[in-house]
Each structure stands twice: as structure tokens, then as C-alpha cells.
């Protein structure tokens, strides 16, 4: 059974959250910090937006730095801007005070599942180095030709998501779900377009000569390896005795494709 740590400054609300989540997850309470996350093996921290002597966002930053495998659900605050701030800071979800008990349980369980999938994608990528581009999910650093890229949390997660599945086409809705942990109903897909545009700009500014992120018109984007780094193309049909080569992606196998010239960002 998954386990939750509740970090909240209000004792009554902390008890309510424990009662709601206890049967489904098993909980322990904390007031201001995530000190017991590692020793006690928690899967998720439910963190109040406002704590007695520090902000919930600062606790979120500590968890992301020291316990990246732990899901974080922020709770409290009715201002829609709080949800945006929490998600941009890499929270897995945010719940307003009027969330129902059943919805809270489902959101917390979903956050745990998404965090596990994100970690699995990170493990499958490992450190990547291609044609001057280096990506290290462990240190969350990226560089081009030795020039370190100054990426935001979401820009790095976006690049990591693309790199986890070369040649896979991601729709903007896919990326919204995988990187922002949100749906198109809750968040504008224009956010994805803007971040892809900025990420491309930073790659070019750092000296990259390859269009790593291609636009697939009407479908989304894909991460394209340089032609010289790609797996061999399927052999010519004039050599019937040879077995065709396939490019194996993390999500399955599909015929290898030649990287095409990047198109302008979608509007």
C-alpha cells in the first residue's frame, strides 16, 4: 500500500486529510517539513500551500531537490494562480479547499502513478549524448557543445520527455499531461507551444546545429536524432535475403525514419 505524509500547519485540516487518505494510503502527519520521507518510505507528500513559518512551495522545492521520487500534491488556496505556481514548481497536482474526499483520494493516487511513470522514463533514458547534446536526468543538467543550457524545470522535463522516446510524435495534449500533469481542460495547450519555442531557442543560442525538436504538422512534435546517429534504415528490397533493421523506441518498435528538416513552431 502506498503511504502519504501530510505536511500542514492547521491541526484540524491535517486530521481531516489523514482521515480521508488513511484508509486508502496510510498516513503520518508532519507540520513544516519533509524530514521523514526517506526513512519512512513515503510515496507522496500532501503539502499545505501556507505553513506556519514557511511557504508550501519552499517545502516542495526541498522535496524535489532531496526526494525526487516522492509525488507532491499541494492543497489549499482558492486562487487559480496558486495552482499555476505549484505546477510550474513541479508539483504533481494542486487541490483547492472545496475538493471532495473522493476526488482528493483519486488525485493523490493518480499523482503517485504519474511520478512513478516519470521516474521510469528517466531511468530508460539515462545520460544521453548525441552530436554535441548532453542530457543527464540525474543531475538535471543539459548542454550543447559543452555550453550548459539554462533551462527551467519545465523546459528540462520537456527535453527529457522528448529524449525518452526518439521519433515518437507527442501531441500538445500528451505533453501537457506528461510534463505539466494537467489536461487541456485545466491548462491551455498554448503553454506547450511557448515552452517548445523557448527550448528550441536556447538550443540554437547554445550553438546546436541540429533541429532536435521537429514539428509534425497537425500532430505535434517529435525528438529527432541526427541522421548519422540513427539506427540503420531498412535495407533495400533488392536484397531480399537481408533482415530489415528496426529502430527500437522505449514505447515499442517502429520503422526507422530519416530526420527531416525542422519546421517552424506551430501557432
Same domain, yes or no, for 16 and 77?
yes
Rounded CA-CA distance 142/159 in Å is 9
Same domain, yes or no, for 117 and 151?
no
Same domain, yes or no, for 16 and 110?
yes
Of 85, 101, 122, the one marking the end of a domain is 122
pTM surpassing 0.75?
A: no
Q: Is the pLDDT of residue 95 over 70?
A: yes
- Residue 264 placed within a domain: no
Rounded CA-CA distance 98/76 in Å is 9
Same domain, yes or no, for 135 and 244?
yes
Same domain, yes or no, for 250 and 143?
yes
- Residue 163 placed within a domain: yes
- Tell me 264's DSSP state: P
Dihedrals phi, psi of 38, to nearest 5 degrees? -75, -50
Same domain, yes or no, for 221 and 139?
yes
- Residue 261 placed within a domain: no
The residue range of the domain holding 136 is: 126-254
Same domain, yes or no, for 116 and 148?
no
Same domain, yes or no, for 45 and 118?
yes
- Residue 107 placed within a domain: yes
Of 92, 122, 152, the one marking the end of a domain is 122
- Residue 37 placed within a domain: yes
Q: What is the pLDDT of residues 97-115, one digit of tens each?
A: 889 999 999 999 988 988 8
Of 122, 153, 176, the one marking the end of a domain is 122
Q: Which of 106-120, 139-153, 234-248 shows the lowest mean pLDDT across its residues?
A: 234-248
Same domain, yes or no, for 110 and 141?
no
Most confident of 15-19, 63-67, 238-242: 15-19
β-pairing, 27-30 vs 141-144, is unpaired
Most confident of 29-33, 236-240, 251-255: 29-33
- Residue 184 placed within a domain: yes
Rounded CA-CA distance 63/61 in Å is 5
- Residue 263 placed within a domain: no
Same domain, yes or no, for 178 and 194?
yes
Residue ranges of alpha helices (H) inside the chain are: 11-22, 37-40, 56-66, 80-88, 101-125, 153-164, 172-180, 190-205
Same domain, yes or no, for 56 and 31?
yes
pLDDT given at position 205: 92
pLDDT given at position 256: 36
The domain total for the chain is 2
- Residue 259 placed within a domain: no
- The CATH number of residue 219's host domain is 1.10.10.10
pLDDT range class, residue 240, cuts 50, 70, 90: very low
- The CATH number of residue 16's host domain is 3.40.50.2300
Chain centroid offset of residue 1 CA:
24
Same domain, yes or no, for 117 and 52?
yes
Q: Please state, as a whole number, how many other Cβ atoms lie within 10 Å of the Cβ of residue 34.
A: 20
Q: What is the pLDDT of residues 173-223, one digit of tens each?
A: 889 888 887 766 666 788 899 999 999 999 999 988 888 999 999 999 999
Amino acid at each position: 500500500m502506498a503511504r502519504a505524509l501530510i505536511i500542514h500547519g492547521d491541526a484540524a485540516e491535517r486530521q481531516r486529510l489523514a482521515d480521508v487518505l488513511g484508509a486508502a494510503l496510510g498516513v503520518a502527519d508532519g507540520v513544516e517539513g519533509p524530514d521523514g520521507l526517506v526513512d519512512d518510505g513515503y510515496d507522496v507528500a500532501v503539502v499545505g500551500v501556507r505553513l506556519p513559518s514557511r511557504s508550501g512551495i519552499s517545502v516542495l522545492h526541498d522535496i524535489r531537490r532531496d526526494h525526487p521520487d516522492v509525488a507532491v500534491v499541494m492543497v489549499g488556496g482558492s486562487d487559480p494562480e496558486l495552482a499555476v505556481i505549484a505546477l510550474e514548481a513541479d508539483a504533481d497536482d494542486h487541490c483547492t479547499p472545496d475538493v471532495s474526499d473522493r476526488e482528493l483520494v483519486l488525485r493523490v493516487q493518480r499523482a503517485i502513478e504519474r511520478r512513478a511513470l516519470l521516474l521510469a522514463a528517466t531511468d530508460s533514458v539515462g545520460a544521453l549524448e548525441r552530436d554535441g547534446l548532453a542530457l543527464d536526468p540525474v543531475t538535471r543538467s543539459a548542454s550543447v557543445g559543452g555550453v550548459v543550457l539554462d533551462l527551467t524545470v519545465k523546459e528540462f522535463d520537456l527535453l527529457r520527455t522528448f529524449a525518452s522516446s526518439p521519433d515518437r510524435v507527442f501531441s500538445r495534449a500528451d505533453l501537457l499531461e506528461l510534463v505539466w500533469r494537467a489536461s487541456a481542460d485545466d491548462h491551455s495547450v498554448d503553454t506547450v507551444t511557448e515552452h517548445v519555442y523557448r527550448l528550441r531557442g536556447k538550443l540554437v543560442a547554445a550553438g546546436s546545429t541540429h533541429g532536435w525538436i521537429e514539428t509534425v504538422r497537425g500532430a505535434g512534435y517529435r525528438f529527432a536524432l541526427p541522421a548519422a546517429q540513427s539506427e540503420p534504415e531498412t535495407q533495400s528490397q533488392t536484397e531480399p535475403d537481408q533482415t530489415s533493421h528496426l529502430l527500437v523506441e522505449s514505447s515499442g518498435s517502429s520503422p526507422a525514419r530519416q530526420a527531416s528538416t525542422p519546421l517552424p513552431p506551430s501557432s
